[in-house]
Structure 1
Amino acid sequence: MSLPVLGGIIPQQFIIANNELLTALVLLALVAIIGIAVSTLFGGKKNVKNTILITGLPFAGKTVIYYQISSSKTVETVTSIQENEAEVALIEGKSSIHIVDIPGHERLRFKFSEFMPIARAIVFVVDSATVSRQSRLLAEYLYDILSNKFTLDEKIPILIACNKSDLLTAFRKDRIQSLLETEINKLRHTRTAALDTQDSDGSENVYLGFEGKDFSFQDLENDVEFIECSAENKDIDSIKDWMAAVVL
């Protein structure tokens, strides 16, 4: 490449007089620097998936769990009107993770979809003492999460945290799983009326599980695990252990 041609590609101050080789090397160095800068600025963020979402209906105890994990504090909470976010190091010496507490109010819980592109895992908190009365609402919310395109494409693992398991009226995790599977089985027939369409929040009208077979969480491609816990008694180590396992 001649000097006149190079002069039309790079600024005149970078052209070294009578030395085409050095001028070409300067050009290559500039291209490399720009490439590294662009990759660092955009590429790094695109691939980061270290966010764990904590979701659930109001009064399930998810915000209490969030604060116990993020600050080791037990706080009195009310229904959240906006998400809570924190960086938490679950294991000493390891990188911190980003946890987000999603509001449980009916008009705000859709906000989980805004964080799905960076979600690594989801903790879905259930009130074990009221699950029988809320099974339909729980199943509808959980269906939205399970049918989200990021959940499906990335096979995002989900933990069903059965909170308040210490109460006498609490259902055991096996019973809660059975209730949710029954309700989701009913929902499949109404949610799949328009297959292969996608809503604005990223949820797809897919058929969860296998046709001709009752719905089971075991039939999903992403892992769904149930654990019992009690935020009131600070018995949430199983949640923290699960979080640490899925991000490491």
Structure 2
Amino acid sequence: MAILPSRIIILDNEYLTLALLFALVILVGIAASTLLGGKRNSKNAVLITGLPFAGKTVMHYLINNDQVVETVTSMKENEANAVLVEGKAPLHMIDIPGHERLRFKFSEFMPIARSIVFVVDSATVARQTRVLAEYLYEILSNKFAQEEKIPVLIACNKSDLLTAFKKERIQTMLEAEINKLRQTRTAALDTQDSEGNENVFLGFEGQDFSFQDLENEVEFIECSAENKDIEGVKDWIVAMSS
């Protein structure tokens, strides 16, 4: 019987150890990918969007931790799992940055979105109607929003302020601005190749735009995150997630 030199035996043991470690790393990677993929692929995300200083990040933390916190303009999305109803599965809350160069990251999360909360500053809406309408237009005309009929809540925040507009007035202002925006967008598409364009036409051609014409539900609610008055928002999220 041949006897292997001790050096060869040691080397074989080293290779076996390395192989086992390598296999373990692969298994851990697969497990992590499966867990993260499950979170990203499951359609249980609630997107919280809006312009800077509208109060969306305050609302995000209030929903998740029941605390009002001081915030700054977010440069990265905030994510957390929130249990809004005891005994029910948690919802994946995603606060999208409001900065003009980052706010359109919402499209990355649309495939997993169950509902969208679009936060509006009720006190400054008159000065921001155009940019609000442009942002909201992109959300509502997104192919996933239309195909999946993703419900959208317009959360009229800071409604406690004396300068705040009522939700009915905010709805009228946004509808009028989206109507004008829709005309310019349609004209632009007519003059260029629209191949690859994932957005769809909002409402009915030949008629003024109305949120009621959309197939996905759009609702307006007045709230105040600073005063912890967001029960209507949470109730809506729960209703849309059941």
TM-score range, shorter chain: 0.7 to 0.9
Once residues 107 and 45 of structure 1 are traced to their aligned partners in structure 2, the CA distance between those partners, rounded to angstroms, is 26
Q: CA deviation at 1:85?
A: 0.2
Segments of structure 2 that go 5 or more residues without pairing to the other structure are 1-33
Kindly indicate whether residue 94 of structure 2 is the aligned counterpart of residue 100 of structure 1: yes
Once residues 40 and 168 of structure 2 are traced to their aligned partners in structure 1, the CA distance between those partners, rounded to angstroms, is 38
Q: Deviations over 1:18-59 (max 9, x none)?
A: xxxxxxxxxxxxxxxxxxxxxxx6996786210000000000
Q: CA deviation at 1:198?
A: 3.5
SS at match of 2:189: coil
Structure 1 pair 187/74, CA: closer, same or farther in 2 (3 Å)? same
Once residues 119 and 142 of structure 1 are traced to their aligned partners in structure 2, the CA distance between those partners, rounded to angstroms, is 16
Q: CA deviation at 1:212?
A: 1.1
Q: Which residue does 2:49 correspond to in 1?
A: 55
Q: Which residue does 1:209 correspond to in 2?
A: 203
Once residues 97 and 53 of structure 1 are traced to their aligned partners in structure 2, the CA distance between those partners, rounded to angstroms, is 10
Kindly indicate whether residue 89 of structure 2 is the aligned counterpart of residue 124 of structure 1: no
Q: Deviations over 1:125-179 (max 9, x none)?
A: 0000000000000000000001111001101000000000000000000000000
Segments of structure 1 that go 5 or more residues without pairing to the other structure are 1-40
1:85 to 57, 79, 90: 79
Once residues 164 and 196 of structure 2 are traced to their aligned partners in structure 1, the CA distance between those partners, rounded to angstroms, is 36
Q: CA deviation at 1:78?
A: 0.7
Q: Which residue does 2:169 correspond to in 1?
A: 175
SS at match of 2:216: coil
Q: CA deviation at 1:197?
A: 3.8
Once residues 40 and 61 of structure 2 are traced to their aligned partners in structure 1, the CA distance between those partners, rounded to angstroms, is 28
Q: CA deviation at 1:194?
A: 1.5
Q: CA deviation at 1:109?
A: 0.3
Q: CA deviation at 1:106?
A: 0.1
Q: Which residue does 1:194 correspond to in 2?
A: 189
Once residues 73 and 180 of structure 2 are traced to their aligned partners in structure 1, the CA distance between those partners, rounded to angstroms, is 29
SS at match of 1:167: coil
Q: Aligned letter for 2:230?
A: I
Structure 1 pair 210/242, CA: closer, same or farther in 2 (3 Å)? same
Kindly indicate whether residue 233 of structure 2 is the aligned counterpart of residue 239 of structure 1: yes
* Pairs aligned (count): 205
Q: Aligned letter for 1:194?
A: L
Q: Give the TM-score normalised by the residue count of structure 1.
A: 0.79
Once residues 62 and 40 of structure 2 are traced to their aligned partners in structure 1, the CA distance between those partners, rounded to angstroms, is 29
Once residues 146 and 50 of structure 2 are traced to their aligned partners in structure 1, the CA distance between those partners, rounded to angstroms, is 19
